[in-house]
Structure formats: C-alpha cells, structure tokens
Amino acid sequence: MSHVLSIPQHNGKRLGDVCLENILYSGRESMMPSRISSLVFSAQVVKGSHRGRSIGTPTINLQYNDVPQELLNGVYACFAQLEDEGESIPAVMHYGPRPVFKDSPSCEVHLIDRTIAHSPMRLTVAVIQFLRDIADFPSREALLQQMEADIHVAREILGVSSPGA
C-alpha cells in the first residue's frame, strides 16, 4: 500500500523538499550511502511500555524493523500521519537505543500538541531534520528536560507555535 503524506509549506517551500543527505548525515558525510530514495516511511504501531506517558510525553511506538535502515540513530523533527487521516501532525521522533532505561532500541514518535484516544495500526512519518544524537542522561528528569528542549526546537523547524502563543 502506498502512502502520500501532505507536508506543510514554509516560506513557499515544502518542508520535505530539503537535502536528504543533510537530514540523515549532517556532519557524518563519510557514512552516507551513494543513494537515498526517501525519508517518508510507514510503520506498524507496536505496544510500548508507556514510560513516555508516565513522564508527560506520550509516544507512539513503531515496529523498529519498519524504519529505513539508512536512517542513523538520533532524534528528529518530523511530521506524522495517522492511518486513514489526511492531516500531517508535527512530531518529534526518537530512533535508536534507550540508554537511560537500559532498554532495547526503539522508534518512538511524540505528536506535538496532540493527544489521541487510541493508537492507529500504522503511522506514516516524514523525517524533516536531524536534531541531535542519542545521549545518556543521569536521570529521568534530565531526559525530560532534553525532550522538552527537543520539542521546542522541532516547533521552530516545523513552524508550530507554542500553546498559548
């Protein structure tokens, strides 16, 4: 099944029309494969541990093997589209290990300013920009502070106002 994700525009240019190599390999050009075809992918939603929800940043967990292998571990600004919905939702995606929790690698998407009653069966993601590498933090509180900073930066990149602004 093919998916078309409508990516919002900023200054007359689709946010998805950016150099793929810069998104994936910024500062790591030696790791860049010779050809990259797309940064939009669809993945099956899987059950998570609900840790994100417990710290106030709920996520939708994606089947790790459904994520394109050329995507490097990191945190990304992206747009997400729930199965059978046309709206592109600003989001932040974590892809890779979870050192704070000493847990297996995952792909988790936090929808910015959006809560959903039930997770969809699939999620389509358009990766827009790399934010940072995966890091270990001394505590959940330190991780939460960084997540809040990541959401703030993603808002700016994706052209999303803060609530109440």
Kindly state whether residue 7 falls inside one of the protein's structural domains: no
Kindly state whether residue 69 falls inside one of the protein's structural domains: yes
Residue 5 pLDDT greater than 50, yes or no: no
Locate tokens 């390999």: which residue?
Answer: 25
For 14-40, what is the mean pLDDT?
45
Kindly state whether residue 8 falls inside one of the protein's structural domains: no
What is residue 116's predicted lDDT score, i.e. its pLDDT? 85
Percent of the chain with pLDDT over 90: 42
In CATH, what number is assigned to the domain containing residue 152? Answer: 2.40.30.30
> Could you read off the pLDDT of 70-121 as tens digits, one per residue?
899 999 999 999 987 778 999 999 999 886 666 788 899 999 998 888 889 9
Kindly state whether residue 1 falls inside one of the protein's structural domains: no
The count of structural domains within the chain is 1
pTM of the model as a whole:
0.75
The answer to whether the beta carbons of residues 109 and 62 sit under 8 Å apart is yes
Cα Rg of the chain (Å, integer): 15
Kindly state whether residue 48 falls inside one of the protein's structural domains: yes
What is residue 19's predicted lDDT score, i.e. its pLDDT? 37
Could you give the CA distance from residue 157 to residue 12 in angstroms, rounded to a whole number?
A: 15
For 114-136, what is the mean pLDDT?
90
Kindly state whether residue 3 falls inside one of the protein's structural domains: no
Nearest CA to 48 out of 62, 37, 34, 68 is that of: 62
Kindly state whether residue 165 falls inside one of the protein's structural domains: no
For 124-146, what is the mean pLDDT?
89
Q: Which domain holds residue 19?
A: 13-26+38-158
Could you give the CA distance from residue 34 to residue 66 in angstroms, rounded to a whole number?
A: 21
Residue 24 pLDDT greater than 60, yes or no: no
Confidence of residue 135 (pLDDT cuts 50, 70, 90): confident
Residue 25 pLDDT greater than 50, yes or no: no
